[in-house]
Structure 1
Amino acid sequence: MSQAPQAVRAVVFAYHNVGARCLRVLLAHGVDVALVVTHADNPAENIWFESVAEVARDYDLPVATPDDANTRGFAAQLRALQPDFFFSFYYRQMLEPALLAIPTRGGYNMHGSLLPRYRGRVPVNWALINGERETGATLHRMVERPDAGEIVAQQAVPILPDDTAGEVFAKVTLAAELALDRVLPALLGGTATHLQPDLSVGSYFGGRKPDDGRIDWKQPAAVVHNLIRAVAPPYPGAFFFIGERRIVVTRSLTSRASRGPSGRPELHTDGDHLLARCADGGVLRILSLEVDGEPLAPAALPARLGQNPIPLV
């Protein structure tokens, strides 16, 4: 693997699996990482991903976890490091223009979509909700407007019809590693091509909350299936209520059962499988679910609730 030109120094803002893998790519190319800026894990959050702080400590790199990276005091600390580059790999805070002015050769961010599509928050989850068949990772220059700077590298990956967000995120993590590894020699050498994206043909999406995972069974089966897989574990999950029981559907498949007429949505078992017939007549097979926080074999749900079929509206 080619080495970086001498004395190329970077400050790396990173979190999550993409942050851990991309930090390793920089080190493999000989980049002098003067500081790793990451987040202290929130004990209330499901921490299912790799720790950037632990990776940094494995390589004896200094680590900082400021509550706000944009303060004047922290900016002064970064300025004293005299970095050539800033890199942001799934760091959760936007770096303001005053901070981006510090590195002499600019700041670059890795985003989990094929920009300019799916700018903004949680792009993998939104791509699945919208039924996309492809996504990827994009390395771009950081500017004041989110995910709007010049693109220097992209790597596409497929989304299969039944992939969950966790599975697609693993593909995006690899895409980020490949894109960064491929472009880094040119970027460090000053020869990387920079392409300005046409934001008019792109899209921007905001963040999501756990309550956004509530299933509306009046929606077509394809829409329900996309929501289930978009928020499947390790994300909070798609849910609905039957009476006071909270039921989380953690995985589904588009069923081969014959499509029925449009009508009232319902759950029913054919003995071996739990099937959800949606309002458009489309059928989903429920592969796994939880009732009030406890896993339950899907086919056992009608017996647990004492009814088969189970009306959903």
Structure 2
Amino acid sequence: MSESNIKSYPPLFRPSSHNTTRQHDTKGEPLKGAGSLDPLPLPLFDMQCLDVEKLDRACREWGIFRLENHGIPNSVLNQLQEHAKSLFQLSFEAKQDLANNCPIKYFWGTPALTTSGVPIPRATAALKMDWVEGLNVPFSQLHHHQHIHHDTLVNDFRNLLEDYSRHLTRIATTIFEAMIRNLKLDLQVLKPCLDESTGLFRVYRYPRHNITEHVQGLHEHTDSSILSILSEDQVGGFQFFKDDQWFKVKPNSTTLLVNLGDMMQVLSNDEYKSVKHKVELNKNKERVSICYFVFPEENTLIQSSIYKPFTYNDFRAQVQQDIKTHGYKIGLQSFKL
């Protein structure tokens, strides 16, 4: 690893004696989940002719699926990856300064805490910190053209994300409306639950690191969103939980990976699944992914026959409290009737 690349990492992620842990436990057996899982082919949907009945089954049985023929040029996806990698190569200090006159905010560690503006208690950081750094970009701020940064790379990346966001708004709306029709719910009433202004991009870089029992790129969790739409490179590491076991997702940079979040599970009265997933580190390669999350408008009341009424603001505050108190997200269980 070059000196400049080392300096681009947060200090805790830089190579040292503490992250050269062997990939085997004291008995010499590979650690559970250390690259031994089989990939499981996901349901695949063609956005040009979306099969809504098949989509309904995938949402009930999987909570995760792929999209092909999504209408996003491969050139856009490739440029986003290359620009993201270039931004992550900036020094750690330069990335920390990005928020000045720029809608892009840098974070590292557990995203649910570090992107909230709330300092991380030292005890919490020691529990189960995620080994990831990222760029947090609220959808609504992409359109504020007064945010002009002195760095051409930053401006070009923001413009690429703005173009990308138009595609993802179209895709998310199409999928959401199909799900609501399948559930026989009132689309007009639920439109605020897919509020464009709450969309959020998170661009992740996972450092190279030997696979260990305690260090994960992202620890197991469910997303708090309605939908999450992921574009990834070819490194891999994404895993999801189904039928009481973990499965790898084989990377495919030309398709999009979609998973349902907690808010969709609530709207469906638990008929649809908010899938549990995690990201494992790779000891040889960095991994870069770009995820789009869409949420209900913050103060929209979310109602269900099996959950107490709450707003997304209430839910987000509960998640942050969960992680600070327990070191992990409890989420929906706190709102069950």
TM range (shorter): under 0.3
Give TM-score, length-normalised by structure 1.
Answer: 0.24
**Where is the helix percentage greater, Structure 1 or Structure 2?**
2
Give TM-score, length-normalised by structure 2.
Answer: 0.23
**Where is the strand percentage greater, Structure 1 or Structure 2?**
1
Structure whose CA Rg is larger: 1
Question: Relative contact order: is structure 1 or structure 2 higher (C-alpha 8 Å, sep ≥ 6)?
Answer: 2
